[in-house]
Structure 1
Amino acid sequence: MCGIAGFLDFSRTQSADQLESIAAAMIHPLLHRGPDDCGVWNCEASGLALGHRRLSILDLSPDGRQPMTSQGGRYVIVFNGEIYNFQTLRRELEGLGHDFRTASDTEVLLAAFEQWGIESGTQKCAGMFAFAAWDSREHKLHLGRDRVGEKPLYFARLNNLFLFASELKALRQHPRFDSRVDRDAVSMLLRYGYIPGPKSIYSNVQKLQPGTILTVHACDSSDIQQHTYWSLQKIAESGAESTFSGSDHEAAGHLEQLLADIVREQLVADVPVGAFLSGGIDSSTIVSIAQSVSRSPVKTFSIGFEQREFNEADTAKRISQHLGTEHTELYVSARDALNVIPRLPVMYDEPLGDSSQIPTFLVAQLARHSVTVALSGDGGDELFAGYNRYARGQRLWRYWQGMPSPLRRGIGKSILSLPDAMWKRMNCGRDVIEKLGRVLVAGDSRHFCEEMASYCHDSDRFVLDTSGFDNQRDVQFADMMSRMQFLDGVNYLPDDILVKVDRAAMAVSLETRVPLLDHRCVEFVWSLPTTMKLRGATTKWLLRRVLHNHVPSTFFDNQKRGFSVPLSSWLRGPLKEWAEDLLSPSRLANDGIFDVAEITQLWNQHKREERDWQYLLWSVLAFQTWFDEQKSMCAPALPQARAA
């Protein structure tokens, strides 16, 4: 795991020293991603500079240093991530005549590029990665990102400049960076709790989408092309056309063997490896399989909370004892969790409205005391239909389709028009019922999915001067559950879940690996019928069957707790003063981003316990803390350009 950054200056007016100086400044704030080593490289004639910070995982020697040049000299690369099947690829390449100087997966990737080209070489890789590869023969810079978006990569095109980096804080170090905030992105943050790609919080910065290779020609600033080498939509469509036809027993056996192979690959490292164990189905499955293929007890880590409804540490401990892992747990107080909040704006250099970022950081911090790599169970909910909203959405869609449109809309409008006094008398879950009302008035399947996925359907009213940008894509699947899973797979998973895990772990220089999101697992699971994911009221049906080969089903109740914190009460208690300051009308008015009256009303209703606005308020607060950090930064001075 590492951090990468660099740029192409199409004006080509910078000297080699100036290019390297700027690249060095860009990788400096990525120290947490790579504390072990750093390096820069430039091509003065093309105005190119590449920078790299290294967290040594494979081949700890100086031979693995980057930027790295291919044996034939054609390619220079900066690489972040891991190629899990690099040993298999290395053997294949050696059979084709390639020699290797190091034991690193980066050198194998370079050889794959020389042998098969950028796209075909990338397609042969199983792993998580983001890279920038310079082709000295074609004078082209290639950026690539892994299939599901485990590793981040941002890019920006600014006049005669093309920038890229693992994190936004690196882009901000370039003297010509444009830091204007994208107000539509702020609105999306409030709507979903995260900013869906390709947008970022900055107007001129985009996220390279998962499964994509971007190519920039150094001689033509207008020649920027993007190509998708792996598409979840095509995988889902292919799975629907060629659905797995085997028995339940055969499916479970194939999945278990596939996960065993993947976990075995992901346990390979030249540093200590462990695993997160929350006590849920996903992490318990990964730990069970890791323990079964490991030669020594797996080191496992969990955290617990004093509030029972948020605590799964007891279950995690029982599972670790049953499996025989070397388990470490830490019970954290509200104060421990609250102490993390001041670090969030730097850790997440784009605002993220997911409060589970706090316990994610705490368990990563705990693990880093013992290991450098940790396996995670992320992705199980999206793949195996673990979220309650999938089953609810499936049922609601049937009702939606079966009701005459005037009747359906009429009921929905009646729900949404209920006065506040009525809600108080009913004393029921207003948020859930109002969401039902909005779903009933949805005009089509696209808007139905939008309502099911969003926290706030009218987020534009809280943000000033938005354009009404709509990022929802219209996709067709045979059933609503698959449609919702797909949309989460291309939006929520890469832009919330994986961002949360990557930044929290990298803040303490911990590499996380996610076996369930290996593309071979993703492709198999998308070929399964929906009844192997959701059977009756049982979510993750097939994954549970694999797990119960290792851990008795009696260890688990069927209640999904998630990895969350008691945010609603914290905002009325220990976080109240902090939030009051960030949401003060004078501060909001001075910043000029939010509608002061609308935000003030939200905050007052939450404080008075008239409404529970925890999710929406957390997104607003995440932006406010990030914006404060942004305002405190000053752009570095531009080195004096050399005369052309």
Structure 2
Amino acid sequence: MCGIVGIFDTRGQRAIDPALLSRMNETQHHRGPDEGDIYTEPGVGFGHRRLSVIDLASGQQPMFNAAGDVGVVFNGEIYNYRELTAELEGLGFAFRTNSDTEAVLHAWEAWGEACVHRLRGMFAIAVWDRKQQVMFMARDHMGVKPFFYAVLPDGMFIFGSELKSLRAHPGLSREIDPTAVEDYFAYGYVPEPKTIYGGARKLAPGYCLTVRIGQPIPAPKQWWDVPFKLHEKMTEQDAAGELAVRVREAVQSQLKADVPLGAFLSGGVDSSAVVAMMAGLGSEPVNTCSIAFKDKAFDESEYAATVARQYNTNHHVETVDTDDYALLDTLAGLYDEPYADSSAIPTYRVCQLARKRVTVALSGDGGDENLAGYRRYRLTMAEDAVRSRIPPALRRSVFGPLGKYYPKADWAPRVFRAKTTFESLARDLVEGYFHGVSIMSDAMRERLFSDSFRGRLQGYSALEVMRGHAARAPTDDPLSLIQYLDMKTYLPGDILTKVDRASMAHALEVRVPLLDHKLVEWISGLSSSLKLKDGEGKYIFKKSMERHLPHDILYRKKQGFAVPLAAWFRGPLRQRVRDSLLGRDLAETGIFNVAFLRELVEQHESGRRDYSAPIWTVLMFEAFLRKELEGAGA
């Protein structure tokens, strides 16, 4: 695990400034505190920061082949590197290390761009092939590892594991992309392939990019996608049995490490299943890490302790004050662009705890997207069942006005909170799902932005992100489609971003066996009725784990990593909210309707409305802007 950076002259062989490359590299020191190095030649520069996990004695990067004409920098882990090494040795390649990096290097020499189809793991890769005058870059199947890049006006191509490494280059324009702002206030993050800057991009999951000197830079090319190709019909019992075998195999494939290894254990289904599988694969107790909250309304530590006792793990728990809002500014620096998932706070703390015990931790991330675990899947399918029975024109004419005029009743019992449902029913499936997951609705964003900023958007809506993915989806099954949308937006943009930055801030490698691409492919072929059945999300997964986990772990009400934003904003952070949302800095951007910001603050403070999620989203945007101003000053 590590951080990578690079500079590539797309127009020739201009000199690369080693001091600049080194500064870019050192912005990511936290990703790899064990070692670091840079390499330059005319037209090409590579930088690498290393967190040593496999082959501690060798495997340093940048790494070149024996002839010195092919080099690689690589962030991640290739779990099948031993099998690859054996295959490549059979093809005549001689290995000088026992590292997965060298397997990637020779895989490029053997198979070129097709090498990515041989890799099983999480990775962001850049290969320089001097013979072909080609720079090849690729990102893993699901987007576990990040890859940022930019083409500068002078033809220099720069890349890095975090956006801060690109910002260290003076040639990068930091002009904010208006459409990324619109996306952020809908989703709470900037979805791939955009960044907050118009001049920088993310390489999307399952995409690669080949740049040749002297040729126009092509669009990135998709090399993998979730297939959603249905299996031959199987019984529920057979599906549950095979799923358990495949989950165990995915976990086993990710247990290779030459450093201490453990797991996160929240007490939820996914992390508990990963720990259960780990416990059955080794002779030593599993190292598990959990955090507890002082406020019992947010605490799941008792459930984690139950699983820890069942499998006799070396269990470590630390109690976190629920009012852990001191991290707000830390998060703004960590994520480099606006990011509004408040569960980043407890995620940061559990990574901090885990790093005291291990260097590598397995997590349960991805289970909800893979196996339809989110409550919103159940609600969306219920809405779609109604939607499918009523002609679109009638739906719009009936539910449109109901959604518009029905009062927003956050304070009322759930049965009376029908406004969002009515609004969704007036839309088609994709637009209804987008409306349901948006932090701020279309109507709220319309009021949030100033007239001048809406003019800059030129009619653009964040819905276009989901529309684009839906148009390319390999399935028309309603549940599979919304899972696919989450796999393209929420999973890489929010969940995996959160875990990567929080873990690497502490030089901790996190692996995600439930997102092993072979497992994802197989699960995608299961019937939707096995994933969501009789209102039970992750139905077949829970069935597959009944032999391994207690009923109370599998079937209790889902509880996420939450923080008490509403109370914070009416209490200890009240003045911070006023200073940030109603202060001069946001007003001077010209982006916001200041009168609406004041309405958000005052209605939330009074208790008339719960605007905690929109306020947090604006608060994190303001924190990002302050970091930007500090950087400009520096």
TM-score by length of 2: 0.94
For the 8 Å contact 1:393–1:480, the answer to whether it is kept is no
Aligned residue number for residue 641 of structure 1: none
Aligned residue number for residue 127 of structure 2: 133
Aligned residue number for residue 642 of structure 1: none
Identify the match of residue 99 of structure 1 among 94, 101, 111.
94
Structure 1 stretches lacking a partner, 5+ long: 637-644
Letter in 2 for 1:74: D
SS at match of 1:550: coil
Letter in 2 for 1:175: P
The CA deviation string for residues 335-382 of structure 1, in whole angstroms up to 9 with x for no partner, is: 4x2122221111111211111101111100000001000000000000
Aligned residue number for residue 462 of structure 1: 448
- For 1:168 and 1:405, the matched residues in 2 are separated by 43
Change (3 A) 1:111 1:349: same
Letter in 2 for 1:162: F
- For 2:176 and 2:259, the matched residues in 1 are separated by 40
Following TM superposition, by how much is the alpha carbon of 1:13 offset from its aligned partner in structure 2, in angstroms? 7.6
For the 8 Å contact 1:172–1:635, the answer to whether it is kept is no
Task: Give the alignment of 1:431-450 within 5 angstroms.
Answer: 432-442=417-427, 444-450=428-434
Letter in 2 for 1:456: M
Aligned residue number for residue 437 of structure 2: 453
Following TM superposition, by how much is the alpha carbon of 1:467 offset from its aligned partner in structure 2, in angstroms? 3.2
Task: Give the alignment of 1:473-484 within 5 angstroms.
Answer: 473=468, 474-475=470-471, 477-484=475-482
For the 8 Å contact 2:70–2:130, the answer to whether it is kept is yes
Aligned residue number for residue 213 of structure 1: 208
Aligned residue number for residue 321 of structure 1: 309
Aligned residue number for residue 15 of structure 1: 15
Report the number of matched residues: 619
SS at match of 2:532: coil
For the 8 Å contact 1:57–1:269, the answer to whether it is kept is yes
Following TM superposition, by how much is the alpha carbon of 1:591 offset from its aligned partner in structure 2, in angstroms? 2.8
Aligned residue number for residue 355 of structure 2: 368
- For 2:388 and 2:529, the matched residues in 1 are separated by 21
- 1:177 counterpart = 2:175: no
TM-score by length of 1: 0.92
- 1:580 counterpart = 2:565: no
Aligned residue number for residue 275 of structure 2: 287
Following TM superposition, by how much is the alpha carbon of 1:187 offset from its aligned partner in structure 2, in angstroms? 1.5
For the 8 Å contact 1:285–1:546, the answer to whether it is kept is no
The CA deviation string for residues 305-349 of structure 1, in whole angstroms up to 9 with x for no partner, is: 1333321111001110011111011111134x2122221111111
For the 8 Å contact 1:6–1:49, the answer to whether it is kept is yes
For the 8 Å contact 1:5–1:166, the answer to whether it is kept is yes
Identify the match of residue 271 of structure 1 among 236, 239, 259.
259
SS at match of 1:633: helix
- For 2:566 and 2:479, the matched residues in 1 are separated by 29
For the 8 Å contact 2:10–2:212, the answer to whether it is kept is no
For the 8 Å contact 1:386–1:539, the answer to whether it is kept is yes
SS at match of 2:457: coil
Following TM superposition, by how much is the alpha carbon of 1:481 offset from its aligned partner in structure 2, in angstroms? 1.4
SS at match of 1:402: coil
Letter in 2 for 1:569: A
**Segment of structure 1 superposing worse, 2-11 or 87-96:** 2-11
Letter in 2 for 1:49: G
- For 1:414 and 1:289, the matched residues in 2 are separated by 51
Following TM superposition, by how much is the alpha carbon of 1:260 offset from its aligned partner in structure 2, in angstroms? 1.8
The CA deviation string for residues 16-42 of structure 1, in whole angstroms up to 9 with x for no partner, is: 5x2x22111101110010101111112
- 1:51 counterpart = 2:36: no
Aligned residue number for residue 167 of structure 1: 162
For the 8 Å contact 2:11–2:213, the answer to whether it is kept is no
Structure 2 stretches lacking a partner, 5+ long: none
Change (3 A) 1:177 1:70: same
Task: Give the alignment of 1:70-469 within 5 angstroms.
Answer: 70-117=65-112, 119-159=113-153, 160-220=155-215, 222-232=216-226, 235-236=227-228, 239-240=229-230, 243-335=231-323, 337-418=324-405, 423=409, 427-429=412-414, 432-442=417-427, 444-458=428-442, 459-463=445-449, 464=453, 465-469=456-460
**Segment of structure 1 superposing worse, 47-56 or 2-11:** 2-11
Output the aligned Cα RMSD: 2.0
Aligned residue number for residue 565 of structure 1: 563
Letter in 1 for 2:436: M
For the 8 Å contact 1:197–1:209, the answer to whether it is kept is yes
Identify the match of residue 596 of structure 2 among 592, 595, 598.
598
- For 1:471 and 1:498, the matched residues in 2 are separated by 18
Change (3 A) 1:417 1:113: closer
Letter in 2 for 1:488: D
Change (3 A) 1:14 1:436: same
**Segment of structure 1 superposing worse, 125-134 or 566-575:** 566-575
Aligned residue number for residue 630 of structure 1: 628
- For 1:22 and 1:457, the matched residues in 2 are separated by 43
Letter in 2 for 1:503: R
